[in-house]
Structure 1
Amino acid sequence: MKAALFEYVRPSTLKDGLQRLAEGQGTVKVMGGSQSLGPMLNLRLARPKVVVDCTALPEMRDVTMADGVIRIGGAVTHAEIEDGVFPLLRGSLLQTVAAGIAYRAIRNRGTVAGSLAHADPAADWVLTMTALAAQLELVSSGNKRMVHMERFMLGAYTTDVAEGELISAIHVPELGDNARWGYAKFCRKTGEFAEASCCAVFDPRRGFARVVVGALDGAPQALPAIAAAVAESGAMPTRADIGKALEAAAPGKDAIDRKLMTAAVLRCLEQVLGKEKTL
C-alpha cells in the first residue's frame, strides 16, 4: 500500500512552517526524519492533506548552550549526535544513546523531535530525556511554551503537543564534571525496540539523582527510592529492593517482564557505579 495523495511542503524558515501548520486546521502533519510518519503514511494510518518537512529549518538544526542548559534543535538527527558533529554533545550520554538507536540508515534520517513526538514507549529518547529532566520547546504561529518531559508524554503515542504546534527544541541541563550516568536496554535483536530499558543520571553538583525505566505500556516511570538509595550509599541496591520499586512503578507485569526490567536496572547502575562520565 502507498500513501494517499498529499501536498509536500519544505519551508525555509520556522515562521513559514508554523504558518502552514496554522492554516491546515488539523489536516497537516509535521515531518522530521519520516522514520515513523513514513510507514504510517504508506499504511494509510495517517492521511494528511499537507505534510510540512521541518528538516531544513535553521532554527531547528543547531545545538547551543546558555545559562547551563543545552538547547538541541528538534531537527538534529540521531546520526549527527552519534558522530559528534556538535561539540557540546561529544562524549555524552546522548552520544552513547544515539549510537544504539535502531540501524544506521534510520539514525541518518531520524530526528530527536520526531522520535519524541511519535512517543513510542520503547523509544530511546523518550526514556533518556525523562531521566535528564529535559524540557521541550513547543511553538506555534502565535505561541511558545516549555513543557517538562514528565508532563509531555501522556500515554503510548500520545503527547501534549497541541494542534498547530511542533517541537522546535529540547532543553537539557548541563551535567557537572563529576556526574555519572548509565543506559541499558534489552532487545530481541540488535536494532529492534527495547523489551526493557533503564536510564540513570546522578549529578552531585545539582543534587540530582534519577533512575527511570522505559519500554512500558505508557510513559517511562521513575524509581525514586532506588535513586535516593544509590545516591546516599553509593552501593548497588538488592534485587528485592529493585523488584519492589518496579512493582510500584509498573504493576501487573509478568515474571519475564520483571526479570528483564530488573536486569536492565542492574546493568544500568553497574555503569553508574563503575566509572565517571559527563553529559
Structure 2
Amino acid sequence: MKPAPFDFVRAETLEEALSALAEAGDEARVIAGGQSLVPMLNMRLARPKVLVDIMGLADLDRIVETKGRIEIGAGVRQATLARWAGLSEKLPLVAAALPWIGHAQTRSRGTVCGSLAHADPSAELPLSLLVLGGEVRLRSRKKKRAVAARDFFLGMMATAVEPGEMIQAVSLPVHAPGTGVAFQEVARRHGDFAIVACAAVAGPDGTCRLAVGGVADVPQLVDLPDPESPEFDDAINEFAWSLNAREDLHATARYRRELVRRIGRATIEEAIRCRG
C-alpha cells in the first residue's frame, strides 16, 4: 500500500517546524528517521494531513552533557548515539540496550527520540528511559515542558505529546558510581520485536529496580528486594501477574509471565554483579 495524501514541510528552522505543527494541530506528525512512521503511513495506520521533516535541523542533532544529565536531541540517530565516545561510561544501560534495536540498517536511520514518540510497548529505548528515571523535553510554539518517563507513555503507541508539540530532546541522568545496570531480551530472532525485555538498575544502597517491556501496553516499573532475600520470588511473581500479559502469535500470556520471573531475576542479578 501507499500513504494517504499529505502535505510535506521540510523545516529549515525549529521555528518553522513549530509553526507548521501549531497550524496543523492534531493533523500533523513529525518525521525524523522514519523507521517506524513510514511503514505506518504505507499501511495507512497513520493518516496525517501534514508531515513535518526535522532531520535538517542541526540544533536537534546534538548530544550534550550538562548538570549531571545527558540530553539527546530529536535529530540524533541511534547509530550516532551508539558511536558516542561517552556512551559506555555515561549511559551504560543505553549502551547495552542499543544493539537489541532492530538491525544496523534501521539504527543508522532511526532516531532515539523517534522510538520514544512511537511508544511501541516492545521497544528498548522507552524501557531504558523508564528504569533510568529520564524525562522527555517537549516544545511547542508557545511553551516548553518536561515530562517524566513514568508519565510520558499513556498506552500502546500513545504518549503525552499534545497537538502542536514535538519532542525536542530526551534527558537521562549520568550513570552514578556504585550503580549496576543490565539489559536482557527474549525475541524469536535477534532484531525482532521483544517477547519480553528487561532492564535493571541496582543501586549502591541495595535497591533493585526492574522495568519490563513487551508484556503490557506500556513498559512497567517495579522496585524489588534483593534476589537473595526470601521475599523476592513472591514479589516478582506478583509483579508478573499484575502486568496482565497479552497473548499473540509469538507467545502465550503464561510464557510471558514465566519470562518476567526468570529473565527479570537474571537481569537484576547481572546488574548487582556490575556494581562498581
TM > 0.5: yes
Select the residue among 236, 240, 248 that pairs with 1:242.
236
- The 10-residue stretch of structure 1 (267-276 or 16-25) with the greater mean CA deviation from structure 2: 267-276
> Cα deviation per residue 1:175-199 (whole Å; 9 max; x = unaligned)?
2122210111100111111011111
Count of residue pairs the alignment pairs up: 268
Give distance in 2, aligned partners of 1:238 and 1:150: 23
Query: CA distance change for structure 1 residues 235 and 110 in 2, over 3 Å: closer, same or farther?
Result: farther
1:88 is aligned to 86
Residues 235 and 273 in structure 1, CA contact (< 8 A), matched pair in contact too? no
Give distance in 1, aligned partners of 2:196 and 2:230: 19
Give distance in 2, aligned partners of 1:236 and 1:152: 34
2:249 is aligned to none
1:262 is aligned to 261
How far is the alpha carbon of 1:208 from its aligned partner? 6.7
Letter in 2 for 1:214: G
Residues 181 and 271 in structure 1, CA contact (< 8 A), matched pair in contact too? yes
2:122 is aligned to 122
Give distance in 2, aligned partners of 1:210 and 1:54: 35
How far is the alpha carbon of 1:252 from its aligned partner? 5.8
Q: Secondary structure at the match of 2:26?
A: coil
Q: What is the percent sequence identity of the aligned residues?
A: 33
1:81-230 aligned at under 5 Å gives the runs 81-82=81-82, 84=83, 86-91=84-89, 92-204=92-204, 209-224=208-223, 226=224, 229-230=225-226
- The 10-residue stretch of structure 1 (140-149 or 259-268) with the greater mean CA deviation from structure 2: 259-268
Residues 236 and 269 in structure 1, CA contact (< 8 A), matched pair in contact too? no
- The 10-residue stretch of structure 1 (115-124 or 252-261) with the greater mean CA deviation from structure 2: 252-261
1:36-47 aligned at under 5 Å gives the runs 36-47=36-47
Residues 200 and 272 in structure 1, CA contact (< 8 A), matched pair in contact too? yes
Letter in 2 for 1:261: V
- The 10-residue stretch of structure 1 (96-105 or 121-130) with the greater mean CA deviation from structure 2: 96-105
1:265-276 aligned at under 5 Å gives the runs 265-276=264-275
Q: Secondary structure at the match of 2:215?
A: coil
Residues 138 and 161 in structure 2, CA contact (< 8 A), matched pair in contact too? yes
Residues 204 and 275 in structure 2, CA contact (< 8 A), matched pair in contact too? no
Give distance in 1, aligned partners of 2:237 and 2:200: 16
- The 10-residue stretch of structure 1 (118-127 or 263-272) with the greater mean CA deviation from structure 2: 263-272
RMSD: 2.1
Unaligned runs of 5+ in 1: none
Query: CA distance change for structure 1 residues 201 and 6 in 2, over 3 Å: closer, same or farther?
Result: same
Q: Secondary structure at the match of 2:30?
A: strand
Letter in 2 for 1:127: L
How far is the alpha carbon of 1:49 from its aligned partner? 2.5
Unaligned runs of 5+ in 2: 247-252
> Cα deviation per residue 1:98-149 (whole Å; 9 max; x = unaligned)?
1210111111111111111111111101111000000100000111000000
How far is the alpha carbon of 1:27 from its aligned partner? 2.3
How far is the alpha carbon of 1:209 from its aligned partner? 4.5
Query: CA distance change for structure 1 residues 27 and 271 in 2, over 3 Å: closer, same or farther?
Result: same
Query: CA distance change for structure 1 residues 252 and 24 in 2, over 3 Å: closer, same or farther?
Result: closer
- The 10-residue stretch of structure 1 (90-99 or 194-203) with the greater mean CA deviation from structure 2: 90-99
Query: CA distance change for structure 1 residues 120 and 69 in 2, over 3 Å: closer, same or farther?
Result: same
Residues 96 and 182 in structure 2, CA contact (< 8 A), matched pair in contact too? no
Give distance in 1, aligned partners of 2:68 and 2:163: 31
Residues 180 and 273 in structure 2, CA contact (< 8 A), matched pair in contact too? no
How does the TM-score come out when normalised to structure 1? Answer: 0.88
Residues 181 and 202 in structure 2, CA contact (< 8 A), matched pair in contact too? yes
Give distance in 2, aligned partners of 1:48 and 1:245: 38
How far is the alpha carbon of 1:89 from its aligned partner? 1.9
Q: Secondary structure at the match of 1:210?
A: strand
How far is the alpha carbon of 1:265 from its aligned partner? 0.4
Letter in 2 for 1:222: L
How far is the alpha carbon of 1:33 from its aligned partner? 0.9
1:14 is aligned to 14
